[in-house]
Amino acid sequence: MEITVVHTFFANIDDDPFFAAPEGVWSPAENLLHLIQSVRPVIMALNFPKTALRLRFGKAKQASRPLAQVRDTYVNVALASGGQARGSFLPEVQTYSPAEKVRILAKWQKKGADLQAAIGKWPEKALDSYVLPHPLLGKMTVREILFFTLYHNLHHVNDVQRLLNQAESEWFEPK
């Protein structure tokens, strides 16, 4: 899901519900912080020299999977087998205030701009040639990581929509 669409969705949540959630469920703020934490290593990897990525993680041995297949593997394998965020991917809200909401939203916009800039440095063909590790899905091509990032955003927007009793955003298949 596009960075600006995600930003607009979260920005339109009133302050109180932005920080509220039942026990054991992430609040909208925590979902957005998790997305920020999740995109950080992608940005870092995309900004590494490609030679360093190849030496560290190797080259792709097969073609990139389509977005729908990456999504299905995430939902039907990783999540279905109990996969969940842990460690540095667990969100923690520091304060519960309108100023904190603004800070979180600004951080998301900054990470989105950083991600778009990092992607812009990659030639199309290289997206299918290099691999990166994913904590739940193993090694994936850069294109697959970007597909995952798109779907992961939608997944968390849908989680928040369910929390707020809103209709979920539709699944999409890019052309």
User: What pLDDT, in 10s, does the model give residues 61-106?
Assistant: 999 999 999 999 999 999 999 999 989 999 988 889 999 999 999 9
User: Which pairing describes strands 138-141 and 131-134: parallel, antiparallel, or unpaired?
Assistant: antiparallel
- With a threshold of 0.85, does the pTM exceed it? yes
7-10 own/partner pairs: CB under 8 Å, 24+ apart: 7/105, 7/108, 7/109, 7/112, 9/157, 9/160, 10/104, 10/105, 10/108, 10/160
Alpha carbon distance 39, 112 (integer Å) = 8
Predicted local distance difference test score (pLDDT) of residue 93: 85
State the fold for domain 3-163: Four Helix Bundle (Hemerythrin (Met), subunit A) (1.20.120)
Give me the residues paired with residue 138 across strands: 134
Break the chain into its structural domains and give their ranges. Answer: 3-163
Residues 6+ apart with CB under 8 A from 17: 28, 164
Question: How many Å is the Cα radius of gyration of the chain?
Answer: 16
pLDDT in tens, 125-155: 999 999 999 999 999 999 999 999 999 999 9
Residues 6+ apart with CB under 8 A from 133: 57, 139, 140
pLDDT in tens, 24-38: 999 999 999 999 999
121-124 own/partner pairs: CB under 8 Å, 24+ apart: 121/46, 121/47, 122/46
Helix locations, 2-141, DSSP H:
3-11, 15-19, 28-47, 50-57, 67-73, 98-120
